[in-house]
Amino acid sequence: MSTPQILVFDDKSYAASTAAVVAQVISECVSQRGVCNLALAGGSTPPPIYKLLSRADLPWAQVHIYFTDERAVPPTDLASNYRMAADSLLEHAPIPPEQIHRMMGESRPADAARRYTQTLQGVSLDVVLLGMGRDGHTASVFPDDPDKLSARGAVPSRSPEPPTERITMSLSVLSRARYAIFLVRGSSKARCVQQVLEGGVVGRLLPAGLVRSDEVLWLLDTGAAAHLRNPR
Ligand code: 6PG
């Protein structure tokens, strides 16, 4: 794993700047490998980024969509990460439907996790997009999760915030991606960003600090970067 790269954008340009960086990485993936296996982040930060990404001139026919995590709700539920991605990206970019690999939030989490572990068999993830909570969780891997280091494949998890029941890619799956791109904005995240990126071993043991992909890129807005001593 190389040293995490950090890019800081002002709040006004954050969505456009991060969408441009993600588009560039996707485009490079496809030109180098003929395909881009892209796993989407959930939460409230991605939608404006995904909307802009859906308008980018990208080789969508070579892009496969995965999900880093999902809430245990039906895909039509407003809390569904799939629904958020569909509304902001999947229904607007020409991605072949058979290349969209949804986590089955409507199933029992253990069943959905088993099924997604099979979906991931033989898949080499190129890019995982990730958010980070104020507690340092990422995807739906939470700090007090006893299995967070040993889990393999996709696993069920429980969030302290509702919706409680989740399915998530494990840290081992996330860390095998070539690129992990954190999309983190807002001053409420600043203390945890500083802990993960500059806080030594304590920060590196938070789930967001345990993603050990080949390339780790943090795309921050000025609020989220506010406590960094030396934002690159
Ligand atoms: C989810 C996400 C979760 C999210 C962080 C940040 O399903 O909610 O996977 O990890 O990325 O909690 O969420 P915000 O973008 O809403 O701050």
137 alpha carbon to ligand 1 midpoint, in Å? Answer: 8
SS3 of the chain = CCCCEEEEECCCCHHHHHHHHHHHHHHHHHHHHCCEEEEECCCCCHHHHHHHHHCCCCCHHHEEEEECEEECCCCCCCCCHHHHHHHHHHCCCCCCHHHECCCCCCCCHHHHHHHHHHHHCCCCCCEEEECCCCCCCECCECCCCCCCCCCCCEEEEECCCCCCEEEEECHHHHHHCCEEEEEECCHHHHHHHHHHHHCHHHHHCCHHHHCCCCEEEEEEECCCCCCCCCCC
105 lines ligand 1 (CB under 6 A): no
184 alpha carbon to ligand 1 midpoint, in Å? Answer: 9
pLDDT digit of tens for each residue in the chain (232 aa)?
678 899 999 999 999 999 999 999 999 999 999 999 999 999 999 999 999 999 999 999 999 999 999 999 999 999 999 999 999 999 999 999 999 999 999 999 999 999 999 999 999 999 999 999 999 999 999 998 989 899 999 999 999 999 999 999 999 999 999 999 999 999 999 999 999 999 888 888 999 999 999 999 999 999 999 999 977 5
Under 8 Å between Cβ of 25 and 213: no
Answer yes or no: pTM beyond 0.95. Answer: yes
**CA dihedral sign of residues 181, 212, 227, 192:** positive
33 alpha carbon to ligand 1 midpoint, in Å? Answer: 29
Tell which CATH classification among 3.40.640.10, 3.40.50.2300, 3.40.50.1360, 3.40.50.720 matches the domain 5-221.
Answer: 3.40.50.1360
What's the rounded Cα separation, in Å, for the pair 62 and 26?
A: 10
**CA dihedral sign of residues 71, 208, 226, 17:** negative
Domain positions in the chain: 5-221
42 lines ligand 1 (CB under 6 A): yes
